Structure 1
């Protein structure tokens, strides 16, 4: 498994960022490649994704550790992916959002195509960074 960690500082309180992370239906607005996302029961979500010219649908299990402001997720179908979002209050009006993604490079390549090796890691890093910047923009604009 490979692990990627990225973070972004956003100009909203941790509670606002926490609520925004839990609005699954807004994921297509900030997660590139997610065409549709919906909640399916308690702590589960279904995502319709297109990446590398390939469409995939998969389900995720979401676990909240609200006391630590951490949301963990893991795919239960499709490619083997997992990760977390952790919120670290900087002050009353600013929060650091830290994303961690764990993935099997071979499984990602098989599911979505694209480069392999270092090029794949670089592409995933750029994607996660871009998604965090999109999340920042949406949350700071109050959407």
Structure 2
């Protein structure tokens, strides 16, 4: 089950996607379906079949987004979070080989097409929660448990 937390930025992105699908893309595809249907025999009309399929995909995504946006809870930064890893934190971690990773901990709805983010549901994020700089976190991976050291925690991209 996916966590129902999201950053304000992530919520706005999902809302923008919903608006675009509903106000722009769906009306365009609906016009194409109507035009293709007016040509007659729909069984051999590739435009009709493709656009009808696309319309179903759009409708499915719109229904999902409407439902999901109602369920989500926006989590904004709070000063009490400072110094520890919580939802929305930008974290730099390092393993014993000196390999570093930089990412933000976000909701599961925000990870697609985003580089530099980790879902709050991921083992890495779970292991880091409530930890401070210089703490170590043990993360279970397919190849076994691995230790990561926290180098930096911030709640602003620029820091």
TM-score (norm 1): 0.25
Higher RCO (CA-CA < 8 Å; seq separation 6+): 1
User: Which structure is higher in strand share?
Assistant: 1
Larger Rg: 2
